Protein backbone atom coordinates (compact mmCIF):
# COMPACT_ATOMS: atom_id res chain seq x y z
CA UNK A 1 0.00 0.00 0.00
CA UNK A 2 1.33 3.44 -0.94
CA UNK A 3 0.29 6.03 1.58
CA UNK A 4 0.90 9.74 1.99
CA UNK A 5 0.44 11.17 5.47
CA UNK A 6 -0.38 14.86 5.53
CA UNK A 7 -0.48 16.86 8.73
CA UNK A 8 1.38 19.71 10.39
CA UNK A 9 4.38 19.01 12.58
CA UNK A 10 2.98 18.01 15.96
CA UNK A 11 -0.26 16.63 14.50
CA UNK A 12 0.77 13.13 15.56
CA UNK A 13 1.38 11.88 12.03
CA UNK A 14 4.80 10.43 12.94
CA UNK A 15 3.26 8.27 15.65
CA UNK A 16 0.47 7.14 13.33
CA UNK A 17 3.02 6.35 10.62
CA UNK A 18 4.93 4.08 12.99
CA UNK A 19 1.76 2.14 13.83
CA UNK A 20 0.76 1.75 10.17
CA UNK A 21 4.29 0.63 9.38
CA UNK A 22 4.13 -2.13 12.01
CA UNK A 23 0.61 -3.32 11.09
CA UNK A 24 0.82 -3.15 7.31
CA UNK A 25 4.54 -4.02 6.93
CA UNK A 26 5.52 -0.99 4.88
CA UNK A 27 8.42 1.36 5.73
CA UNK A 28 7.83 4.83 7.14
CA UNK A 29 9.74 7.30 5.04
CA UNK A 30 10.17 10.62 6.81
CA UNK A 31 12.10 13.17 4.75
CA UNK A 32 12.65 15.13 8.01
CA UNK A 33 14.33 12.07 9.59
CA UNK A 34 16.43 11.51 6.47
CA UNK A 35 17.59 15.15 6.59
CA UNK A 36 18.40 14.99 10.31
CA UNK A 37 20.45 11.87 9.59
CA UNK A 38 22.32 13.64 6.79
CA UNK A 39 23.08 16.54 9.17
CA UNK A 40 24.45 14.12 11.80
CA UNK A 41 26.88 12.64 9.30
CA UNK A 42 28.53 16.07 8.81
CA UNK A 43 29.05 16.85 5.12
CA UNK A 44 28.65 19.83 2.80
CA UNK A 45 25.14 18.59 2.01
CA UNK A 46 24.45 18.34 5.75
CA UNK A 47 25.51 21.95 6.30
CA UNK A 48 23.31 23.04 3.41
CA UNK A 49 20.28 21.13 4.71
CA UNK A 50 20.85 22.44 8.25
CA UNK A 51 20.74 26.03 7.03
CA UNK A 52 17.10 25.49 6.01
CA UNK A 53 15.87 23.12 8.73
CA UNK A 54 17.17 25.20 11.62
CA UNK A 55 15.16 28.19 10.41
CA UNK A 56 11.98 26.21 9.80
CA UNK A 57 12.26 26.63 6.02
CA UNK A 58 11.71 23.94 3.43
CA UNK A 59 14.80 22.28 1.97
CA UNK A 60 14.91 23.05 -1.79
CA UNK A 61 12.95 20.62 -3.96
CA UNK A 62 15.97 19.41 -6.00
CA UNK A 63 17.77 18.17 -2.86
CA UNK A 64 14.56 16.74 -1.35
CA UNK A 65 13.60 14.85 -4.50
CA UNK A 66 17.05 13.37 -4.95
CA UNK A 67 17.03 12.08 -1.40
CA UNK A 68 13.48 10.69 -1.76
CA UNK A 69 14.17 8.98 -5.10
CA UNK A 70 17.17 7.18 -3.59
CA UNK A 71 15.09 6.03 -0.63
CA UNK A 72 12.18 4.73 -2.76
CA UNK A 73 14.57 2.61 -4.81
CA UNK A 74 15.41 0.50 -1.79
CA UNK A 75 14.05 -3.03 -1.73
CA UNK A 76 11.86 -2.51 1.35
CA UNK A 77 9.62 -0.17 -0.69
CA UNK A 78 8.56 -2.90 -3.12
CA UNK A 79 5.22 -3.54 -1.37
CA UNK A 80 4.55 0.09 -0.60
CA UNK A 81 5.53 2.83 1.82
CA UNK A 82 4.22 5.58 4.03
CA UNK A 83 5.45 9.03 3.13
CA UNK A 84 5.63 11.15 6.27
CA UNK A 85 6.51 14.78 5.51
CA UNK A 86 6.55 14.46 1.72
CA UNK A 87 5.19 16.05 -0.44
CA UNK A 88 5.21 19.50 1.15
CA UNK A 89 4.12 21.44 -1.95
CA UNK A 90 2.46 20.96 -5.33
CA UNK A 91 5.73 20.76 -7.26
CA UNK A 92 6.87 17.92 -5.03
CA UNK A 93 3.49 16.20 -5.50
CA UNK A 94 3.78 16.49 -9.29
CA UNK A 95 7.33 15.10 -9.21
CA UNK A 96 6.18 12.23 -7.01
CA UNK A 97 3.42 11.32 -9.46
CA UNK A 98 6.15 10.69 -12.06
CA UNK A 99 7.97 8.31 -9.70
CA UNK A 100 5.08 6.41 -8.12
CA UNK A 101 1.30 6.17 -7.86
CA UNK A 102 -0.41 6.65 -4.48
CA UNK A 103 -3.34 4.69 -2.98
CA UNK A 104 -4.49 7.00 -0.20
CA UNK A 105 -3.67 10.37 1.35
CA UNK A 106 -4.38 10.52 5.07
CA UNK A 107 -4.77 14.06 6.32
CA UNK A 108 -4.26 14.26 10.09
CA UNK A 109 -5.84 17.39 11.56
CA UNK A 110 -5.39 19.25 14.84
CA UNK A 111 -6.25 22.85 15.81
CA UNK A 112 -3.37 25.35 15.53
CA UNK A 113 -3.15 26.20 19.25
CA UNK A 114 -2.92 22.51 20.08
CA UNK A 115 -0.16 22.04 17.49
CA UNK A 116 1.91 24.87 18.98
CA UNK A 117 1.51 23.49 22.48
CA UNK A 118 2.50 19.97 21.43
CA UNK A 119 5.60 21.14 19.57
CA UNK A 120 6.93 23.36 22.36
CA UNK A 121 6.54 20.51 24.86
CA UNK A 122 7.82 17.76 22.56
CA UNK A 123 10.97 15.88 23.58
CA UNK A 124 12.60 13.12 21.55
CA UNK A 125 14.85 10.17 22.26
CA UNK A 126 18.03 10.35 20.19
CA UNK A 127 18.45 6.58 20.39
CA UNK A 128 15.06 5.02 19.62
CA UNK A 129 13.10 8.05 18.28
CA UNK A 130 10.36 7.74 20.91
CA UNK A 131 8.39 10.96 21.41
CA UNK A 132 7.48 12.27 24.87
CA UNK A 133 5.99 15.48 26.23
CA UNK A 134 7.00 17.60 29.20
CA UNK A 135 3.26 17.74 29.91
CA UNK A 136 2.79 13.98 30.40
CA UNK A 137 2.50 12.99 34.02
CA UNK A 138 5.59 11.02 34.88
CA UNK A 139 7.83 12.94 32.48
CA UNK A 140 11.42 12.50 33.68
CA UNK A 141 13.48 13.86 30.78
CA UNK A 142 14.61 10.28 30.01
CA UNK A 143 13.14 7.90 27.41
CA UNK A 144 10.36 5.63 28.73
CA UNK A 145 11.46 2.86 26.39
CA UNK A 146 15.28 2.86 26.53
CA UNK A 147 16.28 5.30 29.28
CA UNK A 148 18.28 7.65 27.01
CA UNK A 149 18.21 11.38 27.84
CA UNK A 150 15.56 13.18 25.76
CA UNK A 151 16.31 16.27 23.68
CA UNK A 152 14.37 19.15 22.15
CA UNK A 153 14.69 19.57 18.39
CA UNK A 154 16.33 22.89 17.41
CA UNK A 155 13.29 23.65 15.25
CA UNK A 156 10.86 22.97 18.13
CA UNK A 157 11.68 26.37 19.67
CA UNK A 158 8.68 28.79 19.79
CA UNK A 159 9.94 31.31 17.19
CA UNK A 160 10.79 28.55 14.67
CA UNK A 161 7.53 26.71 15.32
CA UNK A 162 5.56 29.74 14.16
CA UNK A 163 7.45 29.81 10.86
CA UNK A 164 7.04 26.06 10.36
CA UNK A 165 3.29 26.16 10.94
CA UNK A 166 2.96 29.16 8.63
CA UNK A 167 4.93 27.30 5.93
CA UNK A 168 2.65 24.32 6.47
CA UNK A 169 -0.53 26.34 6.13
CA UNK A 170 0.58 28.02 2.91
CA UNK A 171 2.15 25.08 1.15
CA UNK A 172 0.54 21.88 2.35
CA UNK A 173 -3.14 22.76 2.44
CA UNK A 174 -3.32 23.07 -1.40
CA UNK A 175 -2.18 19.44 -1.55
CA UNK A 176 -5.54 18.44 -0.17
CA UNK A 177 -7.12 19.91 -3.31
CA UNK A 178 -4.45 18.36 -5.52
CA UNK A 179 -5.16 14.81 -4.29
CA UNK A 180 -8.96 15.30 -4.35
CA UNK A 181 -10.93 12.16 -3.53
CA UNK A 182 -7.82 10.20 -2.51
CA UNK A 183 -7.78 12.29 0.67
CA UNK A 184 -9.21 10.92 3.90
CA UNK A 185 -9.22 13.52 6.69
CA UNK A 186 -8.92 12.27 10.27
CA UNK A 187 -9.06 14.51 13.35
CA UNK A 188 -6.43 13.67 15.98
CA UNK A 189 -8.19 15.55 18.76
CA UNK A 190 -9.35 12.27 20.32
CA UNK A 191 -6.94 9.87 22.01
CA UNK A 192 -4.09 8.54 19.82
CA UNK A 193 -5.56 5.03 20.06
CA UNK A 194 -8.98 6.16 18.84
CA UNK A 195 -7.44 8.09 15.97
CA UNK A 196 -5.35 5.14 14.93
CA UNK A 197 -8.35 2.79 15.11
CA UNK A 198 -10.12 4.99 12.54
CA UNK A 199 -7.04 5.15 10.31
CA UNK A 200 -6.65 1.38 10.44
CA UNK A 201 -10.28 0.87 9.42
CA UNK A 202 -9.79 3.07 6.33
CA UNK A 203 -6.70 1.15 5.35
CA UNK A 204 -8.23 -2.29 5.90
CA UNK A 205 -11.24 -1.28 3.76
CA UNK A 206 -8.90 -0.06 1.06
CA UNK A 207 -6.92 -3.29 1.16
CA UNK A 208 -10.12 -5.34 0.92
CA UNK A 209 -11.17 -3.41 -2.20
CA UNK A 210 -7.79 -3.83 -3.93
P1 LIG B 1 9.60 17.26 9.83
O2 LIG B 1 10.41 16.30 10.64
O3 LIG B 1 8.73 16.57 8.82
O4 LIG B 1 8.88 18.27 10.68
O5 LIG B 1 10.65 18.10 8.94
C6 LIG B 1 11.63 18.89 9.55
C7 LIG B 1 12.21 19.85 8.53
O8 LIG B 1 12.83 19.11 7.45
C9 LIG B 1 11.20 20.75 7.84
O10 LIG B 1 10.88 21.92 8.61
C11 LIG B 1 11.97 21.11 6.56
O12 LIG B 1 12.99 22.04 6.83
C13 LIG B 1 12.65 19.78 6.21
N14 LIG B 1 11.80 18.93 5.36
C15 LIG B 1 11.23 17.74 5.68
N16 LIG B 1 10.53 17.25 4.64
C17 LIG B 1 10.66 18.15 3.63
C18 LIG B 1 10.14 18.23 2.31
N19 LIG B 1 9.33 17.28 1.80
N20 LIG B 1 10.50 19.30 1.54
C21 LIG B 1 11.31 20.26 2.02
N22 LIG B 1 11.80 20.26 3.28
C23 LIG B 1 11.48 19.23 4.08
Does the Cβ of 168 fall within 6 Å of ligand 1? no
13 is catalytic: yes
Q: Residue 189 pLDDT more than 90? A: no
What's the angle, vertex CA 32, arms to CA 43 and CA 30, rounded to 5?
120
Residue 116 falls within a domain, yes or no?
yes
pLDDT, tens digit, 9 for 90 and up, residues 88-137: 999 999 999 999 999 999 999 888 888 889 899 999 999 998 889 999 88
Q: How remote is the CA of residue 6 from the centroid of ligand 1, in Å?
A: 12
Residue 69 falls within a domain, yes or no?
no
Residue 162 structural domain = 2-26+79-203
pLDDT, tens digit, 9 for 90 and up, residues 74-98: 999 999 999 999 999 999 999 999 9
CA 86/CA 5 separation, integer angstroms = 8
153 is catalytic: yes
Query: Among 153, 157, 198, 200, which one carries the catalytic annotation?
Result: 153
Q: Output the pTM of the full model.
A: 0.84
What is the SS3 assignment for 30? strand
In terms of DSSP bridges, do strands 131-133 and 122-125 run parallel, antiparallel, or are they unpaired? Answer: antiparallel
Does the Cβ of 85 fall within 6 Å of ligand 1? yes
Protein residue whose Cα sits closest to atom 19 of ligand 1: 86
Model pLDDT, residue 102: 96
Residue 37 falls within a domain, yes or no?
no
Q: Of all residues in the chain, what percent carry a pLDDT higher than 70?
A: 100
Residue 98 falls within a domain, yes or no?
yes
Mean pLDDT to the nearest integer, 31-49: 94
Indicate the average pLDDT of the chain.
92
Residue 158 falls within a domain, yes or no?
yes
- Candidate of 35, 47, 51, 91 to mutate for ligand 1, largest count of ligand atoms within 8 Å of Cβ: 35
Q: Residue 19 pLDDT more than 90? A: yes
Residue 66 falls within a domain, yes or no?
no
Does the Cβ of 5 fall within 6 Å of ligand 1? no
- Per the structure, how many domains does the chain have? 1
Question: What CATH number is associated with residue 109?
Answer: 3.40.50.300
198 is catalytic: no
Residue 51 falls within a domain, yes or no?
no
Residue 139 falls within a domain, yes or no?
yes
> Which numbered atom of ligand 1 lies nearest the CA of 53?
12
Q: Residue 56 pLDDT more than 90? A: no
Q: Taking the CA atoms of 6, 174, 167 and 90 in sequence, report the sign of the dihedral they define.
A: positive
Amino acid sequence: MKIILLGASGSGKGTIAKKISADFKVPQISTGDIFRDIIKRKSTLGEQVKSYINYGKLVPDDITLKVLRQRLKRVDCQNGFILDGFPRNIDQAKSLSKISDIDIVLNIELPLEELEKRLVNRRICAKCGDIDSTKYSGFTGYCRKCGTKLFQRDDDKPEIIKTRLEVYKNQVSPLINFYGDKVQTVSNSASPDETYARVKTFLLNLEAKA
